[in-house]
A = this chain, B = another copy of it.
Amino acid sequence: VGDGARASVPPGEGRREPLTRPRILERALEMIDRDGIEGLSMRRLAAELDVSAMSLYNHVPNKEALLEGVAETLLAEIDLTGVELEDWTDAIRAGFRSFHEVLLAHPQAAFLIQTKPPATPGAMRPVELSLATLRRAGFDAQNALEAHWALVGYTLGHAMFQQSNPLGDFERGEGTLAAERALPPEDFPHVTEVLPEIANCDLGHAYDFGLNVIVEGLKAKLRKDSQRGLFQVAD
């Protein structure tokens, strides 16, 4: 009380910032981006935060909850402004492309979101918008859900598969020979043919291909269903 009544915490330079949940999650994501998911341990994370391992447990119940929190952080990073677009196909494409951009920016994001999907309001906002867009396009509740699952499944699966594609390793360094020894071209002509494509493909472009295919397929489905309704085609 001697040094000023309104004086708050002194801004001393050597001062350690207080441990908070957001700070923990932020640092955990940093570590995961840098060292991969295996590189993150409670003990190591604590060390990076200059704190004993057990301090973490004052802000997070356990490691699983920590990873769920990181997944939530990632989902909150998605730019959702694009889903306001008038044309529902543009809105869907914009929204899922934003999603995919986050997945490309954080190599382990797809893994985290798939294994520890949080059910918090923040994490459900993208789902709500996706379903709303599909409902507005004309799908009933069940088909909207199935269409949403197709889009989410594709997006997560594509990112994750790319991330660990075994064929992706082959073109690095002198890997080509190893690939051809393991997969004799006469038995695997089409895989062999496609190895160079894998090496220098643009992941964003490859993602867009499938996204467009799914959106076109959904449009066709909508057209067919509405025709069946109009003409009462008995079959």
User: Is the Cβ of A121 less than 8 Å from the Cβ of B213?
Assistant: no
Determine which of B191, B206, B217, B220 lies in contact with A146 in the assembled complex, contact meaning CB atoms within 8 Å: B206
User: Is the Cβ of B210 less than 8 Å from the Cβ of A213?
Assistant: no
Determine which of B128, B169, B214 lies in contact with A150 in the assembled complex, contact meaning CB atoms within 8 Å: B214
In the complex, which residue of chain B has the Cβ closest to the Cβ of A119?
B166
Q: Does A13 contact B (CB under 8 A)?
A: no
User: Is the Cβ of A191 less than 8 Å from the Cβ of B158?
Assistant: no
Chain B proximity mask over A134-148: 1 for CB below 8 Å, otherwise 0: 010000011111110
When chains A and B are docked, how far (Å) is the Cα of A131 from the Cα of B135? 34
Chain B residues with Cβ below 8 Å from A142 are: 194, 197, 201
Q: Does A157 contact B (CB under 8 A)?
A: yes
CB contact under 8 A between A209 and B150, given known A156-B157, A156-B160:
yes
Chain B residues with Cβ below 8 Å from A221 are: 212-213, 216
User: Is the Cβ of B214 less than 8 Å from the Cβ of A165?
Assistant: no
Q: Does A183 contact B (CB under 8 A)?
A: yes
Determine which of B119, B131, B153, B191 lies in contact with A157 in the assembled complex, contact meaning CB atoms within 8 Å: B153
When chains A and B are docked, how far (Å) is the Cα of A169 from the Cα of B118? 11
Chain B residues with Cβ below 8 Å from A117 are: 161, 164-166
When chains A and B are docked, how far (Å) is the Cα of A93 from the Cα of B111? 27
User: Is the Cβ of B213 less than 8 Å from the Cβ of A147?
Assistant: yes
Q: Interface residues of A toward B: which range?
A: 35 or more
Chain B residues with Cβ below 8 Å from A132 are: 189-190
Chain B residues with Cβ below 8 Å from A170 are: 119
Question: In the complex, what's the smallest C-beta–C-beta distance from A208 to chain B, in angstroms?
Answer: 9
Chain B residues with Cβ below 8 Å from A165 are: 117
Determine which of B121, B143, B182, B197 lies in contact with A141 in the assembled complex, contact meaning CB atoms within 8 Å: B197
Chain B proximity mask over A105-133: 1 for CB below 8 Å, otherwise 0: 00000010011111111011001100110
10 further A-B contacts with Cβ under 8 Å, apart from A118-B166, A154-B214, are: A119-B183, A123-B166, A146-B210, A147-B209, A149-B158, A150-B213, A153-B154, A160-B160, A216-B216, A217-B220
